[in-house]
Structures are given as structure tokens and as C-alpha cells.
Amino acid sequence: MIANIIIGAAIFGYATWAFVKFINKSKQGKCGACDLKDTCSSKCGVPRKLH
């Protein structure tokens, strides 16, 4: 019984942590949450000037 409670709490805790992490990353926007934002060549979707 105790093992089931501990396992359930661990699963629920991890799910809550993953959900909070997802929400925080989604608030940063497309490029703010990207792992490659420092080396990305797309410039976060900024349109290029046409000559």
C-alpha cells in the first residue's frame, strides 16, 4: 500500500513538473524556447528585406 502511494506520488509529481515546464516554455514564444536559439540561422522568423 505504501509503495503504491509513493509510486503514484512520483508519477503525479513528474507529470506536474513536466506540465509546468511546458507552460513556461510556451510563454517564451517560438524562438525563446528553442534549444538552438543561440546558433539558429532563421533569426526567429524575422522577415528579410527585399532589395
| Average confidence (pLDDT) over 20-47 | 71
Residue 36's pLDDT band (cuts 50, 70, 90): low
The amino acid present at 35, given as its one-letter code, is D
Q: What is the pTM assigned to this prediction?
A: 0.57
Residue 26's pLDDT band (cuts 50, 70, 90): confident
pLDDT for 18: 96
pLDDT higher than 70, residue 50: no
Residue 5 in grid coordinates: 502511494
What are the angstrom distances between the C-alpha of 22 and each of 5, 17, 33? 25, 9, 10
Percentage, residues of the chain above pLDDT 90: 41
